[in-house]
Amino acid sequence: MKKIFLILGIIITFVACENSNKPTQTAQKVEKKTVIVPAFNGDSAYYFVKMQCDFGPRVPGSKAHQQCAEWMVKTLKGYADTVFIQDFKTRVYDGKAFDGKNIIASFNPNARKRIIIAAHWDSRPYADNDPDEKNWKTPIDGANDGASGCGIMMEMARVMKTHRIADNIGIDLIFFDLEDYGAPKWADENLHNDLAWGLGSQYWSKKPHVSNYSAYYGILLDMVGASNPRFPKEYYSQRDAAWVLNKVWRTARDMGYDDCFLNEIGDPINDDHIYMIHYAGIPTIDMIHLNGEEDRTSCFYPYWHTMQDNIEQIDVKTLQMVGNVVMKVIYSE
**β-strand 82-91 against 97-107: which pairing, if any?**
antiparallel
Using an 8 Å Cβ cutoff, are 244 and 210 in contact?
no
pLDDT tens digits, one per residue of 238-286: 999 999 999 999 999 999 999 999 999 999 999 999 999 999 999 999 9
The arithmetic mean of pLDDT across residues 203-219, rounded, is 97
Residue 27 reports pLDDT greater than 60: no
Q: Give the CA dihedral 267, 269, 273, 276, nearest 10 degrees.
A: 120
Average pLDDT over the chain reads 91
What letter does residue 262 receive in the DSSP assignment? E
Using an 8 Å Cβ cutoff, are 150 and 175 in contact?
yes
pLDDT tens digits, one per residue of 276-330: 999 999 999 999 999 876 655 678 999 999 999 999 999 999 999 999 999 999 9
Length, in residues, of the chain: 333
pTM: 0.89
Strand partners, 261: 231
Domains defined along the chain, listed by start: 37-331 (3.40.630.10)
Q: What's the confidence (pLDDT) of residue 25?
A: 44
Q: What's the confidence (pLDDT) of residue 14?
A: 36
Q: What's the confidence (pLDDT) of residue 295?
A: 58
What letter does residue 47 receive in the DSSP assignment? H
Which ranges constitute the DSSP H helices of 88-185?
148-162
The Cα angle at residue 328 between residues 227 and 319, in degrees rounded to 5:
20
Q: What's the confidence (pLDDT) of residue 33?
A: 66
Which ranges constitute the DSSP H helices of 187-315?
199-206, 235-240, 242-254, 272-278
Q: Is 304 helix (H, G, I), strand (E, B) or coil?
A: coil
